[in-house]
Amino acid sequence: MNLDINRLKECREKLGISKQEAARRIGISQPAYLRYESGDRKPSLQTTKEIAKVLNTSVDYLIGESDDSIPILLEINKNDNSELFRIVELCSQMDEKRQKRIISYINKLNS
């Protein structure tokens, strides 16, 4: 599995983090991350999944299988972000109509 090094760099820069910070968040050494971003080394599937999770994208995007960079799965840790966790928990109990109203409201707040 080959990472698209341009997409890897793009996703890291989109988050505004350094290569060193990316390595730290992924849980690998900085030299290992540098080799992935330069294309000198290919990560394992497990490491690729962790990279995608940390960079808030999908494995398919990182390997060039999709042009959609939005992740297909988000992990929200209650201990790390209790407010967002609570919002998702509440929304998951709502019907679709209410969920769409919440999304519309958030989009207006985000404009």
DSSP letters along 32-76, please?
HHHHHHHTSS---HHHHHHHHHHTTS-HHHHTTS-S--S-S----
The reported pLDDT for the residue numbered 73 is: 80
Note whether 84 and 57 are same-domain residues: no
CA-to-CA distance for 64 and 24, rounded, in angstroms? 24
The reported pLDDT for the residue numbered 101 is: 96
Q: What are the 10-residue block averages of pLDDT along the chain, 111 residues in total?
A: 93 96 97 96 95 94 95 86 94 96 94 86
- Domain assignment of residue 68, yes or no: no
Q: How is residue 56 written in tokens?
A: 């808030």
Range of the domain at 13: 5-62
- Domain assignment of residue 103, yes or no: yes
pLDDT in tens, 75-107: 888 998 999 999 999 999 999 999 999 999 999
Percent of the chain beyond pLDDT 90?
A: 88
Q: How is residue 37 written in tokens?
A: 């971003």
- Domain assignment of residue 71, yes or no: no
Note whether 11 and 56 are same-domain residues: yes
Instruction: Specify the number of domains making up the chain.
Output: 2
